[in-house]
Amino acid sequence: MRRLTFLAAAGALLAGATACGRDEVAHYRVPKEAPSSEPAARPAAFAANARPSGALPPPPVPAGSSALTWTLPTGWTQEAGGSAMRYATLRAPVPGKIDVSVTVLPGDAGGELANVNRWRNQIGLPPVDAAGLQSARKPMRTQAGTLSLYDFTSDGAEKRRLVAGLALVDGNSWFVKMTGEAGAVGQARADFLRLVESLRREAVQ
């Protein structure tokens, strides 16, 4: 009898403790934080890149008193650069994959040899040394001064070709470059050279 009484009392205590535990959980409340009156800060990267969909960034403004301008060949078109370094994108009316760009960078932009080897790497060619640079360079006279012209074609079944000119104007390095499928670049090459010959200085507004 004592054993049954003890077990009943223990059961009652356990049930009470469980009920208390449920009561504490059911009535526990986390105080709400007052809403902040300031909007959440945007990440710096998001804020820097925020612009309307499809909008292109403005072309870079060259340092110095003058910039380069040119005459488009018949049928060619031009649009804004589309990046922080690309000054203009040109469209040649030829079939196939081709990209024609005008880029401006401050100073010597790492040097002529480094830039030429970067271009060669883009079409799968190995780098050249100073002697190779000298033999590949073709001086070309323009209204803006003498420009260094390069013409490279890659090896392999899918040939790619690059024709590019480099000029230093008022402390800025200007690159006029055409790259793409060898056939397309070959068709546009004569017009591209006429465009390069038309390069001239224009006062920066």
Each residue's pLDDT, cut to its tens digit, for the chain (205 residues) gives: 444 444 444 444 344 444 444 443 333 343 444 443 333 332 222 222 233 334 444 455 555 567 889 999 999 999 876 666 789 999 999 999 999 999 988 888 889 999 999 999 999 999 999 999 999 999 999 988 899 999 999 987 789 999 999 988 888 889 999 999 999 999 999 999 999 999 998 887 6
pLDDT in the model for residue 106: 84
pLDDT in the model for residue 38: 36
pLDDT in the model for residue 170: 84
Any domain includes 44: no
pLDDT in the model for residue 24: 38
Any domain includes 104: yes
Any domain includes 88: yes
Any domain includes 29: no
Domain containing residue 66 = 60-203
Any domain includes 176: yes
Any domain includes 39: no
pLDDT in the model for residue 164: 95
Any domain includes 197: yes
CATH code at position 158: 3.40.1000.10
Our count of domains for the chain comes to 1
Any domain includes 152: yes
DSSP states of the chain as a string? -HHHHHHHHHHHHHHHHHHHHHHHHHH--PPPPPPPSSPPPPPHHHHHH---TTPPPPPP--SSSEEEE--PPTT-EEEE--SSSEEEEEE---SS-EEEEEEEEETTTT-HHHHHHHHHHHTTPPP--HHHHHHH-EEEEETTEEEEEEEEE--SSS-EEEEEEEEEETTEEEEEEEEEEHHHHHHHHHHHHHHHHT-EEEE--
